[in-house]
């Protein structure tokens, strides 16, 4: 199993909390860290936009990545939510086991 982190950017803290709680409850992520608001600058519809957004870092595994992305897209308020998944290259064995035990439908709660 390849463990992964997911970077998800939300419109506000309420949306970040709702998404994080759903991902953990549905075992798509073992843990979600909701970070302080960030200032984002991006191009949208041909204009430079600025916004305060709230990022999440979710710990999961690559086997859950597609399902996590699909679920975030269902719950998210943005037309094109920012979701990026990258593998975790180094992690303590006990933390890796904890992530593995807390993700996926085949695990015991």
What single DSSP character describes residue 62? G
Q: How far is CA 74 from CA 5, 19, 67, 81, 83, in A?
A: 19, 10, 11, 10, 12
Question: What pTM was estimated for this model as a whole?
Answer: 0.92
The answer to whether the CB of 10 falls within 8 A of the CB of 56 is yes
Percent of the chain with pLDDT over 70: 95
Instruction: Please give the average per-residue pLDDT across 25-40, as a whole number.
Output: 97
Domain with residue 64: its CATH number is: 3.30.70.120
d(CA 43, CA 49): 6
Reference 58, options 101, 16, 91; nearest CA is: 16
State yes or no: pLDDT of 29 exceeds 50. Answer: yes
In a domain, 47, yes or no: yes
**Residues spanned by the domain of 71:** 3-101
Residue 88 has pLDDT above 80, yes or no: yes
**pLDDT surpassing 90 at residue 61:** yes
Residue 108 has pLDDT above 80, yes or no: no
């Amino acid at each position: 199993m390849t463990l992964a982190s997911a970077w998800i950017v939300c419109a506000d803290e309420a949306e970040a909390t709702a998404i994080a709680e759903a991902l953990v409850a549905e075992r798509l992520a073992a843990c979600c860290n909701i970070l302080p608001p960030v200032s984002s600058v991006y191009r949208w519809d041909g204009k430079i936009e600025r916004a305060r957004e709230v990022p999440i870092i979710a710990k999961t595994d690559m086997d859950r990545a597609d399902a996590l992305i699909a679920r975030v897209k269902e719950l998210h308020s943005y037309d094109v939510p920012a979701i990026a998944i990258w593998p975790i290259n180094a992690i303590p064995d006990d933390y890796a086991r904890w992530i593995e035990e807390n993700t996926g439908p085949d695990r015991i709660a």
